[in-house]
Structure 1
Amino acid sequence: MIRSYIFLLITVMIFSGNLIVGKAINELPPITIAFFRTLIAFLVVLPFGIKQFRYYYKIWRENFWPLVGIALTGITTFNVLVYLSLNFTTSTNAGIVEATTPAFAMVLSYLILKENLKPKHIIGTVVSFIGALWVLTSGSIERLLQLNFNIGDLTMLLAVIIWAFYTLIVKQHNHKFPIFGGTLAMVGLGVVILVPAVLVEWFVLGFPAQITQTSNWSGLLYLGIFPSFIALVLWNQAVSDLGPSLSSVFLNLLPFFTTIGAIIFLNEEVVSAQILGGVLVVVGVIMVNVNFKKRKMT
């Protein structure tokens, strides 16, 4: 169980760079980013997963549609929508919208999987969400009220809902698949799905000349290796162990780790509001995931 929590922390650390990198290379079209990200992930996992993929071929045939569902939601559509949203909204707005993921995952888990939700789960999610908002707005209610939600924010909201559905599918089916062979099958289907989409994008917009820039390829390599492979494996395993609603609460740590990264790599100063918000996020995550049981007197 502790291993699953460690996996989630590492995953969120990796995801914290996703919006930053996605914003940095958003001169590339969104489907192009998603396609090359997924293709790189496929090539990276291929040496690790090809043996398992061949050995468990019968499992892929029996679970073809769940794999398609995983590829359509978390591997392709979610990423395309995220990178599309960053063309129209700020990273702050996108971060706030993404912090609503646990709420959607909790509702869907209750409605579809009939997960048992305790009051501490709901309260912890609310506390963690408030902490995420506090970090992103530097503790300013006025700044929060002045946020203008545009088409990019709505696109990001749709991406969050898609990710919540992806997490539910993972919870129901991921335990059937060997870790590397399953990842290979998922990202492989993702590449297949994205090929016609990216060809249409290139036909309409033209092949992006910016793809040759070193900075863009550095960003794509990060997205392909870390969020698309390493974080995907860790996230799927954690969701299988803990469930979608409990795992998704960790996504509220995204703004917290992003702030830490900005301090370390960008020399930004931390303010008291960010410290308080970060504490609230951590407290909320602990409330949702830790069982506080009274010890019996011996």
Structure 2
Amino acid sequence: MTSIANHSSWKSKIHLLMLVCATLVSTSFIVGKIIAATLDPAALTLVRFIIAALILLPIIARRHGVQTTRKALLRYGLISGSLVIFFWCMFLSLRYTSALNTSVLFTLVPGLSGMYAALIVKERLGRARLLALSIGLVGAIWVIFRGDLQELLSLSWNRGDSIFFAGCLAMGLYTPLVKMLHRGEPMEVMTFWVLVTGIVWLLPIGGFALTQVTWSGVPASTWAWVVYLAVFSTVVSFYITQFAIPIIGPTRTMAYSYLYP
């Protein structure tokens, strides 16, 4: 990985891949809305992680084996924990607040990642990068509110916003943790074990939700969309993100989330 990171040609390719990743992640919001009526969000997230892990399993077993250590599981569990806490908070917050409020709060995540990265992995935040983050923040909010300043000013803070903000604090840790806890293993290995430990974290909320699903009533089109989310919005996006972090850094990687709106 170190040799790859030293090639400037790889850095330009990574930025192109991150554009692809941002596109894939942004489509997950549209797809999630399509299938929300037939599958609970918590159940969807758990199923998505399970399918993604099963897709990677034969590849990992053939190339690397499925043996790991307790220390490695702890590393992967910390990374997936930041993601799952975000999902937990998101599901709970939407009982009390709107998707609009959560969209605005999510724009804080790249800045939070930058602060965490400066503290955890000593990533330098120069003036140019801070300016770029600020412009990205303003641009994302402008897109969310379609340039309507009055609508932005009419927002009010509520219990759901506090819950979701806690989730954003956890999500901000994701990219710095990948940078700090990566030990040179192939990124498909890290992606697989992050998914596996994520499944364990998700079971308390997703497991109960699964028992409430009437499986015979789930249409085939929903399963097709779930597979799409598992393959492209989970496996591919996780791999690209985790591959990019050691090369371009946690802050730049997370800054691509400004493109989601």
TM-score (norm 2): 0.84
Residue 2 in 1 paired to residue 12 in 2?
Answer: yes
SS of aligned partner of 1:177: coil
Aligned twin of 1:209:
214
1:128 to 128, 136, 141: 136
Q: Relative to structure 1, is the Cα distance of residues 226 and 84 closer, same or farther in structure 2, using a 3 angstrom cutoff?
A: farther
1:82 CA displacement: 3.2
Q: Relative to structure 1, is the Cα distance of residues 123 and 133 closer, same or farther in structure 2, using a 3 angstrom cutoff?
A: same
Equivalent position amino acid for 1:100 in 2: L
Which aligned pairs between 1:11-90 and structure 2 lie closer than 5 A?
11-27=21-37, 28-54=39-65, 57=67, 60-74=69-83, 76-90=84-98
Cα distance in 1 between the residues matched to 2:143 and 2:42: 30
1:29 CA displacement: 3.2
CA contact (8 A) 1:22 1:83 kept: no
CA contact (8 A) 1:50 1:181 kept: no
Cα distance in 2 between the residues matched to 1:159 and 1:219: 25
2:198 to 177, 190, 193: 190
Q: Relative to structure 1, is the Cα distance of residues 90 and 197 closer, same or farther in structure 2, using a 3 angstrom cutoff?
A: closer
CA contact (8 A) 2:42 2:209 kept: yes
1:163 to 155, 171, 180: 171
1:201 CA displacement: 4.3
Q: Relative to structure 1, is the Cα distance of residues 152 and 219 closer, same or farther in structure 2, using a 3 angstrom cutoff?
A: farther
Aligned twin of 1:108:
116
Aligned twin of 2:8:
none
* Structure with larger RCO (C-alpha < 8 A, sep 6+): 2
Equivalent position amino acid for 1:154 in 2: S
CA contact (8 A) 1:171 1:240 kept: yes
SS of aligned partner of 1:120: helix
Q: Which ranges in structure 1 are unaligned for 5 or more consecutive residues?
A: 256-298
Residue 117 in 1 paired to residue 96 in 2?
Answer: no
SS of aligned partner of 1:189: helix
Could you list the per-position Cα deviations for residues 167-221 of structure 1 after superposition, in whole angstroms to 9, with x for gaps in the alignment? 111011235221222222221222233334433445xxx5122662334323322
